[in-house]
Amino acid sequence: MNVEKGYIDAPVPAEVKDLKEEIARLKKEKKAVIMAHYYQKGEIQDLADYIGDSLALAQKAAQTDAEIIVMCGVHFMGETAKILCPDRKVLIPDLTAGCSLADSCPAEEYAEFIKAHPGHTVISYVNTTAEVKALTDIMVTSGNARKIVDSLPSDEKIIFGPDRNLGEYINSVTGREMVLWDGACHVHERFSLEKIKELKKEHPQAEILVHPECRKPLQMIADKVGSTAVLLKHAVESPVKEFIVATESGILHEMERKCPEKTFIPAPPEDSTCGCNDCSFMKLNTLEKLYNCLRYEQPEIIVDKELAEKARRPIERMLELS
């Protein structure tokens, strides 16, 4: 089947009356597992066997005994699953689902950056390509970055990439002076500080939840800074009934599912006409693409064996330290 567009562009057969039921049937037939990031569309999250942030998905991928892993996320997540499970078939509904943060850190330029800072331990965010992971000593996610950095000797010299906002946050809470790569996520960069302040005036009892990929001024007004999993846990446990949420809007689906009695307000971007609190890459995955992905077992994530071996070591070290 042709995947030139990055996905299987085929119509769903007319005899398929309930697409969700057919996806569930195919999943069982093929002994597959569906994993979805919190930023996926709600209808995909509802079909997934596991939903989570990057850390949780990596942990589940390392543990699963399924014959096929369908990663409903972006490309680097599929690569991470394949690196951890080289003997499993790893599928992704749309290969063009990339990541602006990963794109901001080309491996060749990162290698030169590392050479310019000899004697440094290289810590890289999981939102990177396999090539960047292969240059890295320890991978981290927003959920475990502080813990892992804290586990290293206080005088250890560290390079952190590619997200400068997350790196600045980790420096601020650990007292480190890590050397930072200048990369960023296009979604988290675009939230408006002024509009969030206005929302807070309208909802004075609301807590502000901020992802550490957001800029420092937003972190400073937050009631809670953390990964998607951390923000979700806080929302569940907090006695507060209203929240302004400064991260990709897909997380609101799980927040509302777990806390139907609470109100979650998506933080507005600077340009209110662009829908910039949605990740356009994450939203490329659809039920139709997921169905065709399972039906035809394409597109498949392929990672060169030698590259995968180099990239696996820093991921496994992350999992050991998490």
Q: What is the CATH number of the domain that holds 137?
A: 3.40.50.10800
Is the pLDDT reported for residue 300 higher than 80? yes
Instruction: Tell me the pLDDT tens digit for each residue of 152-163.
Output: 999 999 999 999
Q: What are phi and psi of 269, to 5 degrees?
A: -80, 170
Q: Which residues contact 90 (CB under 8 A, 6 or more apart)?
A: 68, 69, 71, 78, 81, 82, 300, 301
Q: Are residues 107 and 160 in the same domain?
A: yes
* Domain assignment of residue 320, yes or no: no
Mean pLDDT, rounded, for 3-28:
94
Sorting pLDDT into bands at 50, 70 and 90, what band is 167? Answer: very high
Which of 22, 33, 91, 93 minimizes the C-alpha distance to 67?
33
Q: Are residues 112 and 88 in the same domain?
A: no
The lowest-confidence range among 4-8, 241-245, 271-275 is 271-275
Q: Are residues 232 and 256 in the same domain?
A: yes
Do 68 and 31 meet the contact criterion of CB atoms below 8 Å apart? yes
Please, what is the Cα angle at 55 between 74 and 103, to 5 degrees? 35
The residue segments making up the domain with residue 135 are 101-185
* Domain assignment of residue 10, yes or no: no
Q: Are residues 126 and 75 in the same domain?
A: no
Is the pLDDT reported for residue 131 higher than 90? yes
Instruction: Tell me the pLDDT tens digit for each residue of 74-124.
Output: 999 999 999 999 999 999 999 999 999 999 999 999 999 999 999 999 999
* Domain assignment of residue 193, yes or no: yes
* Domain assignment of residue 297, yes or no: yes
Say what the pLDDT of residue 132 is.
98
Q: Which residues contact 68 (CB under 8 A, 6 or more apart)?
A: 30, 31, 32, 33, 88, 89, 90, 91, 294, 297
Q: Are residues 194 and 250 in the same domain?
A: yes
Burial of 218 (0-12, 13-18, 19+ CB in 10 A): buried
* Domain assignment of residue 318, yes or no: no
| Bridge partner list, 60 | none
Sorting pLDDT into bands at 50, 70 and 90, what band is 322? Answer: confident
Task: Select the more confidently predicted residue: 58 or 259.
Answer: 259
Sorting pLDDT into bands at 50, 70 and 90, what band is 40? Answer: very high
Mean pLDDT, rounded, for 175-191:
95
Pull the structure tokens for residue 215: 């800029």
Sorting pLDDT into bands at 50, 70 and 90, what band is 230? Answer: very high
Question: What single DSSP character describes residue 268?
Answer: P
Mean pLDDT of the chain: 95
Say what the pLDDT of residue 247 is.
96
CA–CA dist 76, 119 (Å, integer): 27
Sorting pLDDT into bands at 50, 70 and 90, what band is 271? Answer: confident
* Domain assignment of residue 322, yes or no: no
pTM of the model: 0.92
Q: Are residues 92 and 116 in the same domain?
A: no
CA–CA dist 38, 51 (Å, integer): 6
User: What is the share, in percent, of the chain residues with pLDDT greater than 70?
Assistant: 98
Place of tokens 């586990």: 151
Q: Are residues 105 and 75 in the same domain?
A: no
Say what the pLDDT of residue 29 is.
96
Sorting pLDDT into bands at 50, 70 and 90, what band is 2? Answer: confident
Pull the structure tokens for residue 114: 């590392």
Domain count, the chain: 3
Strand 68-72 and strand 263-266: the pairing is unpaired
* Domain assignment of residue 312, yes or no: no
